[in-house]
Amino acid sequence: MTKEQQRDWLIVAGKYAIAMTAIAALMGTVIVLTVAPMIAQERDARIKGDERIALRMLLQGRDRLDLIDYLTVPEGEARDRKLAAIREKWAREEADLIYSKPSN
């Protein structure tokens, strides 16, 4: 290979390397711009899911307290009224949980 052929080959290889570097940079930017919103949505979904789980746990704790309160009422009509009131309360809380607007 002559010096001129080597020089021509180096020019072609250099142009190829520059083109591949530019394409890699462009593809990297495209991937970042494409994936970033998905990552943000996943993070938001996790936060909202964690909020729902925390609310469920809070309601479960309240439910246990309500049942203990129910068991302290003497048997009879008073206990039946107490159970009806607890069931209404649970229905309201469940409806609030299901139909509440998600946080932003």
Residue 18's pLDDT is 95
Task: Mention every residue, 6+ apart, whose C-beta is less than 8 A from residue 97.
Answer: 52, 55, 56, 59
Quick check: is 15 in a domain?
yes
> How many domains is the chain partitioned into structurally?
1
For residue 104, being part of any structural domain is answered with no
Q: Which domain holds residue 61?
A: 3-99
pLDDT tens across 4-27, in order? 999 999 999 999 999 999 999 999
pLDDT in tens, 43-79: 999 999 998 888 888 888 888 888 888 889 888 899 9
Average pLDDT on 33-49 reads 91
Which residues does 79 contact at the CB level (< 8 Å), separation at least 6?
Answer: 70, 73
Q: What is the pLDDT of residue 30?
A: 92
